[in-house]
């Protein structure tokens, strides 16, 4: 199958993305003020226009927009996770509240349990790596002004489900409720740990991380209010 390399300019970043146009879904973009936006449906309730930003580690939503999502019931109390420290482009750090978007859909492509962060009110809606890294490949056709999303399935609605339960093995590490999953190609492990002590009043959270094959490198993905969300988040771990 012939593949074409497409040079993409997105929020100041030059990316080379290899895309098979015959398989890719074309999602129309919206141009406003010289910027291309992609319509995103959140939890099947509201559609917002996002900037595609591969430099953002997570999907980002400004505080004022997040307040609207709370008022409309799009986001609920059970979706809140812990706070997370982000490093900004200028090298400074910013602590943001993190939450789970249960369903995030672009065109016919849907992902569940997507991690998102709340940015200051002056911020932008950013479609970051917590969504983009879970897509097989993507690019922008600037001539046609469409987002091309390429994925390995053939069904009409693409849903990435949590790993099957039998893929996970319970281990005794910090508690007897920790789980690991072997990654393909000896790529290491995905690990989910239960942390917190309810008897001391500590919040109970599930921490998801990627672990190298030799256990020398641990990369924390985030903290989640339930084990299913934590297991799903480990899909960003290297697969080979």
What pLDDT, on the 0 to 100 scale, is given for residue 167?
Answer: 67
Residue range 84-98, pLDDT digits in tens: 888 777 778 888 888
Is there a single domain that holds both residue 42 and residue 131?
A: yes
Helix, coil or strand: residue 65: helix
Is there a single domain that holds both residue 72 and residue 137?
A: yes
Which secondary structure element, helix H or strand E, spans residue 233, and what is its range?
A: helix 227-233
Which residues partner with 16 through β-bridges?
7
Rounded distance between C-alpha atoms, residue 207 and residue 161, angstroms: 19
What pLDDT, on the 0 to 100 scale, is given for residue 201?
Answer: 65
What pLDDT, on the 0 to 100 scale, is given for residue 181?
Answer: 74
- Positions of the chain with pLDDT under 70: 1-23, 151-167, 170-178, 184-187, 197-202, 214-215, 239-240
**Total number of domains constituting the chain:** 2
Residue range 157-202, pLDDT digits in tens: 444 444 344 467 766 544 445 677 777 655 677 888 887 765 666 6
User: Do 102 and 79 meet the contact criterion of CB atoms below 8 Å apart?
Assistant: yes
What pLDDT, on the 0 to 100 scale, is given for residue 134?
Answer: 86
What pLDDT, on the 0 to 100 scale, is given for residue 60?
Answer: 94
Is there a single domain that holds both residue 181 and residue 153?
A: no
Helix, coil or strand: residue 165: helix
Nearest to 206 by CA among 162, 143, 239: 162
Is there a single domain that holds both residue 153 and residue 170?
A: no
What pLDDT, on the 0 to 100 scale, is given for residue 198?
Answer: 56
Rounded distance between C-alpha atoms, residue 169 and residue 44, angstroms: 33
CATH number at residue 116: 2.40.70.10
Is there a single domain that holds both residue 174 and residue 92?
A: no
**End-to-end Cα spacing for the chain:** 22
Domain boundary among 115, 137, 160: 160
Is there a single domain that holds both residue 176 and residue 128?
A: no
Rounded distance between C-alpha atoms, residue 171 and residue 186, angstroms: 19
Phi, psi dihedrals of residue 160, rounded to the nearest 5°? -90, 110
Is there a single domain that holds both residue 54 and residue 102?
A: yes
What pLDDT, on the 0 to 100 scale, is given for residue 207?
Answer: 85
71 CB-near residues (< 8 Å, 6+ apart): none
Domain boundary among 106, 131, 160: 160
Rounded distance between C-alpha atoms, residue 196 and residue 202, angstroms: 5
Domain range for 110 is 4-160
Phi, psi dihedrals of residue 63, rounded to the nearest 5°? -60, -40
Domain boundary among 160, 187, 218: 160
Rounded distance between C-alpha atoms, residue 116 and residue 134, angstroms: 14
169-171 vs 178-182, strand pairing mode: antiparallel
Phi, psi dihedrals of residue 197, rounded to the nearest 5°? -130, 105
What pLDDT, on the 0 to 100 scale, is given for residue 44?
Answer: 92
């Amino acid at each position: 199958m012939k593949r074409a390399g497409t040079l993409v300019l997105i929020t100041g970043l030059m990316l080379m993305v290899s895309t098979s146009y015959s398989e890719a879904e074309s999602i129309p973009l919206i141009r406003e003020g010289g910027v291309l936006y992609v319509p995103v449906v959140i939890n099947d309730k509201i559609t917002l226009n996002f900037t595609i930003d591969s430099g953002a580690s997570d999907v980002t939503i400004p505080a004022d927009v997040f307040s609207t999502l709370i008022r409309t019931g799009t986001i609920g109390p059970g979706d809140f996770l812990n706070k997370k420290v982000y490093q900004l482009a200028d090298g400074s750090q910013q602590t943001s509240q993190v939450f789970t978007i249960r369903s995030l859909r672009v065109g016919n492509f849907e992902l569940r349990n997507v991690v998102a962060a709340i940015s200051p009110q002056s911020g932008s809606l950013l479609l970051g790596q917590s969504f983009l890294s879970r897509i097989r490949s993507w690019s922008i056709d600037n001539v046609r002004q469409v987002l091309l999303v390429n994925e390995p399935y053939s069904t009409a609605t693409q849903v990435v489900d949590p790993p099957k339960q039998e893929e996970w093995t319970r281990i005794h590490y910090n508690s007897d409720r920790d789980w690991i999953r072997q990654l393909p190609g000896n790529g290491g492990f995905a690990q989910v740990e239960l942390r917190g002590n309810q008897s001391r009043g500590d919040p109970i959270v599930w921490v998801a991380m990627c672990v190298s094959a030799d256990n020398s490198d641990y990369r924390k993905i985030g903290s989640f209010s339930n084990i299913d969300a934590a297991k799903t988040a480990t899909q960003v771990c290297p697969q080979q």
